[in-house]
Amino acid sequence: MAKQRYHRLSDHSLPFWTLILLHGLAVAAGVASALYIESHGHGVTGMNNQIVWGLPHVFAVFLIVAASGALNVASVSSVFHRLVYKPFARLSGVLAIALLIGGLAILVLDLGRPERVFLTLFHRNLTSIFAWNIYLYGGFVALVAGYLYAMMDRRLSNDPRATAVFGWAAFIWRLILTTGTGSIFGFLIARDAVSGAIMAPIFIASSLLYGLAFTVLVLLTMSIETSDILCTKELIGKFRGLLALFAATTLALTLIAHLTKLYAAPTVAVELFLLRDGGIYPIVFWIGQIGLGLLAPLLLLAVMKSEASNVAELAGASILFLFGGLAQMYVVIIGAQAWPLNIFPGFEASSSFGDGAVATYAPTAPEFFLGISGVSIAMLIAALAFRLLPVIPQILANEAKA
Amino acid sequence: MSHADDEHEANIPATTAWMPGTIPGSSPGTGMTGGNRRNFLRGALAATLIAPGVTLNVFGANARPAGEPASTKVRWGLLVDVNKCSISCDACVRACNAENGLTGRSETDAQWIRKVTLNNSATEEIRSAPVMCQHCASPPCVDVCPTGASFKRADGIVLVDKHICIGCRYCMMACPFKARSFVHEDHDDQATHAPRGKGTVEGCTLCVTRVDAGQKPACVEACAKEGGALVFGDLNDPGSEISKALRQYPAAQLRADLGVDPGVFYAHLK
Ligand code: SF4
Ligand code: SF4
Ligand code: SF4
């Protein structure tokens, strides 16, 4: 096999500039929102003392979860030696870092005191899974950067051991990272909706799904931009199969989690709330997460023909999977808080502080802009990396037709 | 859990003494742990305590002399006798709000203590009780806090160091009793001994400055004039009023099944 060549993006097409402009506007809106929230306090958001984590967390956790999954293509090439994915390993690594930074930026900007984030370097509480996640995220960026370096450096890239070592390390690290993110919720002992060990496997399965969906969308965009067929017929078939597999796994684990909680006495009430009686939450769950986010794209993948010219279904399915991911985070993060804590078992409680009552949450525009800007931050970082580093593979014309 | 606490304490930088007053029955120099905790708190409130007038209440009869650490021999606690708590009374809430300068718009107001109306699902009997921070012995809020801003003093009082709270609200997610509030906007009318910072989290301090000065918490004092449903004292001292009361009639911790071991007990809750 001829040596794989890579190139940097040089001149951009008008549609590409338009995309960049749109993402730039979204980031500007996000930054303005963050400053607004910062100066006025979180009172200008829909968050309150009942719903303490709002839309920004929905986007941030979604992006962080997707980040570790985006490394998937690189992992299967280096760790599982699937050569067909090898040309895309760099792109996958870049995307993983970009998504993680996008997510973390939102998490930090939504803090009550974002300017104090560096305090976490000096004041650490090692019993906090949150503190551990800070190390996990930092380590992830460092390892993936090392991995990219090993792949791009002329000397190192000739030594397959270097890529393998970094590839393995990053692979293991990302599993721990996703487990860590999922555990943030598992540790909330009093929140009936999310406590429990099943959160971690769900997060791992869905991270693979969302990460791959992002990768596919970026690859397809780059195909158009470079007028190169980056997704060969073979690759499209493989992506289709993997997306379907990850989606089915996420679906199965989600159903198992809800069924287990539905049959356990302490959690049956909150389950009925999330799945049937909770107003917006069952709608977001059934229509958003399950219907549009998993079943519809699965159907799209089932009917699509695996031909290189037939990428619209693949793109459509990927977009729907990402939409479903946001819906999933909404149900998990907001729904879990909306359900009242059971402080006095055996009593119907009521108070001026929302005891015994379902909490209401009406997100405001600033928190939406702040959240969505995380996606745009990630996309702009990726675009910049594609311009500065040799990331995009050059696919030989005959290979593409094969 | 206790091991984890030790680790956490070891992270606290040792600084000079601050806390005014002493705890009844505590001996000088008990436990480095207490010292560290107290010094930790020093950073939290030092700025306000420099304010003149605040030191006036320091030398009460039971006050802990300045420079002495809070002691692990003491565990401060509260007892709520639900039988004596009237549904229409909110004296404790008003006292807390006045003591700590808690004001705000209603959607996002801070409630360090709230009255909860309880309708027994079986008997339909209606009761009421106040809920404040339960000052858990194994507080989840402390376990999850990334910076260590949430901390437990040696004498069991759980506090937030407002100077290192980054406002992540993870403690609010983790608290089983919704005992904490996030400061959603600026407040100009703050009490000097209870500074409030926009973007940080706060909650019942068990009136720490009063307790260190040998006084009772504001809510307990206010309640004494009404139903007398609140008893404050040292759970570790068998001779204290609260220990005697706890021996007299059975009382339960809220959600004892969670294993967080609250320092607040509820009697006649049925
Ligand atoms: S009641 Fe909540 S805030 Fe208070 S110590 Fe327990 S967990 Fe922490
Ligand atoms: S909001 Fe403040 S006190 Fe609460 S966990 Fe975060 S840093 Fe700690
Ligand atoms: S002990 Fe003090 S801070 Fe706590 S509820 Fe009572 S008055 Fe408020």
| Mean pLDDT of the region A205-232 | 90
Q: Say how many Å lie between the CA of residue B257 and the centre of ligand 1.
A: 15
pLDDT digit string (tens) for B136-152?
999 999 999 999 999 99
User: What pLDDT digit, counting tens, does each position of B216-235 carry?
Assistant: 999 999 999 998 999 999 99
DSSP B94-128: HHHHHHHT----GGG---SEEEEEEEETTT--EEE
Of A52, A190, A354, the CB nearest to B182: A52
Query: Is B264's C-beta closer than 6 angstroms to any atom of ligand 3?
Result: no
- Structure confidence at residue B63 (pLDDT): 66
- What pLDDT sits at residue B259? 94
Lowest mean pLDDT among A13-27, A230-244, B24-38, B155-169: B24-38
Query: Could you give the CA distance from residue B200 to residue A354 in angstroms, rounded to a whole number?
Result: 21
Other beta carbons less than 10 A from residue A161's beta carbon: 9
Which residue in B168, B186, B265, B270 has the most chain A C-beta atoms within 10 A of its own C-beta, making it the best mutation to test that interface? B168
- Residue-wise pLDDT for A58-100, tens only, equals 999 999 999 989 998 888 888 888 888 888 999 999 999 999 9
Whether residue B72 is predicted with pLDDT greater than 90 in this model: the reply is no
Between chains, do B148 and A125 touch, taking CB under 8 Å as contact? yes
Ligand 2: residues with CB < 6 A are B 144-147, 149-150, 160, 165-171, 201
> What mean pLDDT comes out for the span B52-73?
57
State CA A331 to chain mean position distance: 15
- Ligand 1: centre distance to CA B141 (Å): 6
**Residue B9 Ramachandran class (φ > 0 left, ψ -120 to 50 alpha, else beta):** alpha
**Mean pLDDT to the nearest integer, B48-74:** 55
Model confidence at B26: pLDDT above 50: no
Residue nearest to atom 8 of ligand 3 (CA): B96
Local structure of B179: helix, strand or coil: coil
Instruction: Categorize the per-residue pLDDT at A196 as very low, low, confident or very high, splitting at 50, 70 and 90.
Output: low
Q: Residue A22: its pLDDT value, please? A: 97
Q: Is B184 in Cβ contact with A48 (below 8 Å)?
A: yes
User: What pLDDT is stored for residue B195 in this prediction?
Assistant: 83
- A112:B199 CB<8 A: yes
Nearest to A94 by CA among A372, A380, A326, A395: A380
Model confidence at A402: pLDDT above 90: no
More confident residue, A244 or B70: A244
Q: B126 pairs with which residues across the strands?
A: B119
The predicted pLDDT at position B33 comes to 35
Q: Is residue B145 lining ligand 1, measured as CB closer than 6 Å?
A: no
Q: Distance, in angstroms, between A268 CA and closest chain B CA?
A: 17
Q: Do the Cβ atoms of B147 and A351 come within 8 Å?
A: no
pLDDT at B140: 95
Cβ-count burial A321-335 (b if 16+ within 10 Å, e if not): bbbbbbbbbbbbbbb
Chain B residues close to A116, C-beta within 8 Å: 164-167
Question: Would the pLDDT of B20 be above 80?
Answer: no
The protein residue whose alpha carbon is closest to atom 2 in ligand 1 is B175
ipTM: 0.92
CA distance B90 to B178: 19
Three-state secondary structure string covering chain A:
CCCCEEECCCCCCHHHHHHHHHHHHHHHHHHHHHHHHHHHCHHHCCCCCCCCCCHHHHHHHHHHHHHHHHCHHHHHHHCCCCHHHHHHHHHHHHHHHHHHHHHHHHHHHCCCCHHHCCHHHHCCCCCCHHHHHHHHHHHHHHHHHHHHHHHHCHHHHCCHHHHHHHHHHHHHHHHHHHHHHHHHHHCCCCCCCCCCCCHHHHHHHHHHHHHHHHHHHHHHHHHHHHCCCCCCHHHHHHHHHHHHHHHHHHHHHHHHHHHHHHCCHHHHHHHHHHHHHCCHHHHHHHHHHHHHHHHHHHHHHHHCCCCCCCHHHHHHHHHHHHHHHHHHHHHHHHHHHHCCCCCCCCEEEEECCCCCCCCCCCCCHHHHHHHHHHHHHHHHHHHHHHHHCCCEEECCHHHHHC
Name the more confident of A102 and B35.
Answer: A102
Model confidence at A276, pLDDT cuts 50, 70, 90, reads: very high
Q: Looking at the CA of residue B178, tell me the nearest atom of ligand 1.
A: 2
Smallest Cβ–Cβ distance between B114 and the set A117, A344, A352 belongs to: A352
Q: Do B118 and A343 touch (CB under 8 A)?
A: no
- Residue ranges and CATH numbers for the domains of chain B are 3-62 (no CATH), 76-267 (3.30.70.20)
Burial class of residue B123 (count of CB atoms within 10 Å of its CB; 0-12, 13-18, 19+): exposed
Closest listed ligand to the CA of B171: 2
pLDDT band for position B155 (cuts 50, 70, 90): very high
d(C-alpha B44, C-alpha B64), whole Å: 19
Looking at the complex, report in whole angstroms how far the Cα of residue B120 sits from the nearest Cα belonging to chain A. Answer: 4
The pTM of this model reads 0.88
Select the more confidently predicted residue: A22 or B3: A22
Q: Which of A152-166, A222-236, A364-378, B32-46 has the lowest mean pLDDT?
A: B32-46
- Quote the mean pLDDT of chain A: 90
- CATH fold of A15-347+367-395, please? Formate dehydrogenase/DMSO reductase fold (1.20.1630)
Give me chain B's average pLDDT, please.
80
Q: What value does the mean pLDDT take over residues B6-32?
A: 32
Asked whether the predicted pLDDT for residue A3 surpasses 80, the reply is no
Give the mean pLDDT of A308-320.
Answer: 87
Asked if the Cβ–Cβ distance from B11 to A126 is below 8 Å, we say: yes
CB of B35 sitting under 6 A from ligand 1: no
Q: How far is the CA of A112 from the centre of ligand 2 (A)?
A: 9
Ligand 2 center to A117 CA (angstroms): 11
**Shortest-distance Cα residue to atom 4 of ligand 2:** B171
Domain boundaries, chain A: 15-347+367-395
Q: Are A112 and A42 in contact (CB under 8 A)?
A: yes
Contact assignment for A341 to B178 by CB distance below 8 Å: yes
Q: Are residues A127 and B7, on separate chains, in Cβ contact within 8 Å?
A: yes
Residue A32, CA distances (Å) to A366, A384, B93 in order = 8, 22, 38
Distance A358 CA to ligand 3 centre (A): 26
CB of B89 closer than 6 angstroms to any ligand 1 atom: no
In whole angstroms, give the CA distance from residue A193 to residue A339: 8
A349 CA to centre of ligand 2 in angstroms:
27
Distance from the first to the final alpha carbon of chain B: 31
Q: Which of B118, B144, B199 sits opposite A129 (nearest CB)?
A: B144
Does residue B198 carry a pLDDT above 90? yes
* Alpha helix stretches (DSSP H) within chain B: 2-10, 32-49, 91-100, 140-144, 170-174, 208-212, 218-224, 241-248
A324 to each of A53, A210, A217, A319, how far by Cα in Å? 19, 9, 15, 9
